[in-house]
């Protein structure tokens, strides 16, 4: 029996490998490996795709967030409101610029920031909100922007898992002042290595981002600010240009797979399927269910979710847990003093979530194996 991985990039390479090889060889022959026309063309294409005027490519999604915070001059003494139920980079970068992340609990249905709780977390020090479009599902940006506007806060969208997702017909990354993207290989638009980008409609912010990503210089060897080295390689840009053309098709395939998971899983007791919000169009970076248990049934302290995951593995299905420990309870944030139970929806999600295999090339047979496996475990 072949084990079904959580994601598989080899089929995608079989499909477009020849195009990728040609593009990479072209860059190798050009002798121009960092920056240059290919990177600039990719930036313009991604800006057009997202629906903004400016795109600044960089080395990773983490750097995109860091550069965005730096460009907005957010730093020591400032607070940044965000979700604890995310990849560490969202909080880590706020801390890296010297700001303090303020974690607000999530909505149980979407796993995204609970917008009803944002205003209570705003203080005179609050400078920005970083919503994360988790698992590909967009945050209610209409409501979030209204809150931000009323309190004069900047919004940095963490779009790392949501390239192509839309809220009310607008692509994520074009709604807040800044959008941050990751091209980590398993993201919807993935490079063959690390990569990231920042989008904005503000040319001044874009100019600052370009300066910061290149050692704080506008040209030559004159350094206006402490910057970093965070440029996108020409090889990655060449690969991303090709993959961008396929992105909508791949996202549509993910949608078909998600719809089929919904149908097959909706009536299994103990499984809560993810739901799309009415104005949102998810790109299904992950298909994440909740494995819920009656606390009275809980066996010897081991979570039902973890038992299911182990059993699924023995049936040849690798599932993932994003995320087992929310940021507010991580060792790095001990000094912030959050307690278990303080953000109960996040704590609970961490105990219940299970991400099933999800990638555009997942076959019907593989999907059936996942579903039968899951039914077996819970039967
Ligand atoms: C992947 C990810 C990042 C970081 O992106 P990298 O390219 O891996 O640095 C940031 N935020 C979220 C929500 C992510 O999933």
| Predicted local distance difference test score (pLDDT) of residue 102 | 98
CA of 86 to the centre of ligand 1 (A): 9
The 10s digit of each residue's pLDDT in 16-64 is 999 999 999 999 999 999 989 999 999 999 999 999 999 999 999 999 9
Q: Whose CA is nearest to atom 5 of ligand 1?
A: 61
Instruction: Say what percent of the chain tops pLDDT 90.
Output: 94
Does the Cβ of 60 fall within 6 Å of ligand 1? yes
User: Is-same-fold flag (10-242; 247-378)?
Assistant: no
Q: Is pLDDT above 80 for 294?
A: no
Q: Is pLDDT above 80 for 107?
A: yes
- Give the position, in ligand 1's atom list, of the atom nearest the Cα of 90: 11
pLDDT band at 300 (very low <50, low <70, confident <90, very high): low
| Predicted local distance difference test score (pLDDT) of residue 167 | 98
Q: Whose CA is nearest to atom 6 of ligand 1?
A: 61
In the chain, the N- to C-terminal Cα span, in Å, equals 21
CA of 120 to the centre of ligand 1 (A): 27
Q: Is pLDDT above 70 for 299?
A: no
Does the Cβ of 182 fall within 6 Å of ligand 1? yes
The 10s digit of each residue's pLDDT in 193-231 is 999 999 999 999 999 999 999 999 998 999 999 999 999
Does the Cβ of 157 fall within 6 Å of ligand 1? no
Instruction: Say what percent of the chain tops pLDDT 70.
Output: 98
Ligand 1 mutation pick, 161, 162, 288, max ligand atoms within 8 A of CB: 161
Would you put residue 61 in left (φ > 0), alpha (ψ -120 to 50) or beta? Answer: alpha
From the CB of residue 260, how many other CB atoms can be counted at a distance below 10 Å?
16
CATH architecture of the domain with residue range 10-242: 3-Layer(aba) Sandwich (3.40)
The 10s digit of each residue's pLDDT in 84-97 is 999 999 999 999 99
Pick the CATH number of 247-378 from 1.10.1060.10, 3.30.1490.20, 3.90.1150.10, 2.60.40.1180: 3.90.1150.10
| Predicted local distance difference test score (pLDDT) of residue 301 | 76
Q: Is pLDDT above 70 for 273?
A: yes
Q: Is pLDDT above 60 for 78?
A: yes
> What are the domain boundaries of the chain?
10-242, 247-378
């Amino acid at each position: 029996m072949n084990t079904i991985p959580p994601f598989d990039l080899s089929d995608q390479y079989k499909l477009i490998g020849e195009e990728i090889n040609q593009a990479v060889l072209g860059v190798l022959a050009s002798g121009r490996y960092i920056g240059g026309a290919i990177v600039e063309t990719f930036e313009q294409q991604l800006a057009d795709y997202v629906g903004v005027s400016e795109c600044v490519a960089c080395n990773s999604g983490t750097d995109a967030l860091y550069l965005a915070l730096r460009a907005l001059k957010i730093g020591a003494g400032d607070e940044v409101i965000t979700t604890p139920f995310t990849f560490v980079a969202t909080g880590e970068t706020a801390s890296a610029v010297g700001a303090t992340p303020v974690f607000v609990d999530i909505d149980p249905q979407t796993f995204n920031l609970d917008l009803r709780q944002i205003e209570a977390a705003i203080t005179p020090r609050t400078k920005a909100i970083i919503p994360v479009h988790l698992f590909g599902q967009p945050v209610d940006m209409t409501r979030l922007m209204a809150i931000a506007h009323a309190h004069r806060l900047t919004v940095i969208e963490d779009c790392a898992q949501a390239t192509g997702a839309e809220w009310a017909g607008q692509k994520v990354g074009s709604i807040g002042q800044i959008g941050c993207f990751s091209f980590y290989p398993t993201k919807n638009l993935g490079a063959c290595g690390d990569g990231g980008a920042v989008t904005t409609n503000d040319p001044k912010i874009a100019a600052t981002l370009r300066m910061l990503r290149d050692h704080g210089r506008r040209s030559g060897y004159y350094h206006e600010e402490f910057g970093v080295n965070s440029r996108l390689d020409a090889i990655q840009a060449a690969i991303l240009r090709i993959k961008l053309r396929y992105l909508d098709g791949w996202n549509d395939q993910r949608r078909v797979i998600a719809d089929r998971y919904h149908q097959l899983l909706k009536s299994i007791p103990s499984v809560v399927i993810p739901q799309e919000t009415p104005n949102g169009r998810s790109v299904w970076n992950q298909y994440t269910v909740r494995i819920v248990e009656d606390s009275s049934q809980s066996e010897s302290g081991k979570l039902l979710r973890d038992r299911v995951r182990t059993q699924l593995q023995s049936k040849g299905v690798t599932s993932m847990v994003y995320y087992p420990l929310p940021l507010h309870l991580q060792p790095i944030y001990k000094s912030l003093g959050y307690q278990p139970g303080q953000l109960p929806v996040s704590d609970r999600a961490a105990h219940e979530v299970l991400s099933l295999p999800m990638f555009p090339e997942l076959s019907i047979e593989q999907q059936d194996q996942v579903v039968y496996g899951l039914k077996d475990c819970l039967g």
